[in-house]
Amino acid sequence: MAFKSVPLEQRLLSKTTKSPGCWQWKGRTNNVGYGLTSVGHKVLTTHRASWMIFRGEIPSEIFVLHKCNNKRCINPDHLYLGNQSDNMRDVVKDGKHFNASKTHCKNGHEFTKENTYQGKRKTWRRCRECCLESDRKYFLKTKSKNHD
């Protein structure tokens, strides 16, 4: 008897719990929590596989991102295409960026509302005390060069 491969959609949905919201992947995951499946000899994340099944091709250099912020969700209505900037913006917005949990700058100053410069899109922050100190050093350095 010849081995018959099970279609990707059927394999994906057989390991998924559907609800009105997220479709939760129950199979294996990678080290950061995204679902994994295989297509031929290639391993794919399940949200990318879901996009390909229900929405079509994924252009190169494009990410499949989650609106729901649930790494195991494969509901195509919860997915969208974006680039690296979109991905990083989501990570920062959701407080999942490795710097988002930092409470102090590298010099030990606390990140408070009064002591923090924040970018318009909230994708970066800087300690005001460190910025002032850096400006003072730069001013003294350029001032001494101008007097030589």
- Domains of the chain, first to last: 1-100 (3.90.75.20), 102-148 (no CATH)
Q: Which residue has the higher pLDDT, 13 or 86?
A: 13
Beta bridge partners of residue 143, listed in sequence order: none
Q: Is the pTM of this model over 0.85?
A: no
Strand partners, 64: 81
Query: Over the stretch 65-107, which tens digit does the pLDDT of each residue have?
Result: 999 989 999 999 999 999 988 887 777 666 666 666 778 888 8
What's the pLDDT score for residue 29? Answer: 96
For residue 19, count CB atoms less than 10 angstroms from its CB and return exposed for 0-12, middle for 13-18, buried for 19 or more.
Answer: exposed
pLDDT tens per residue, range 26-70: 999 999 899 999 988 899 999 999 999 999 999 999 999 999 989
Nearest CA among 98, 107, 113 for reference residue 132? 107
pLDDT value at residue 3? 45
Strands 79-82 and 116-118: unpaired
- The closest of 147, 87, 82 to 123, measured between CA atoms, is 87
pLDDT, mean of residues 18-29: 95
Distances in Å between the alpha carbon of 4 and those of 9, 29, 43, 102, 116? 15, 25, 19, 52, 60
Predicted local distance difference test score (pLDDT) of residue 96: 67
Q: How confident is the model over 118-130, as a mean pLDDT?
A: 79
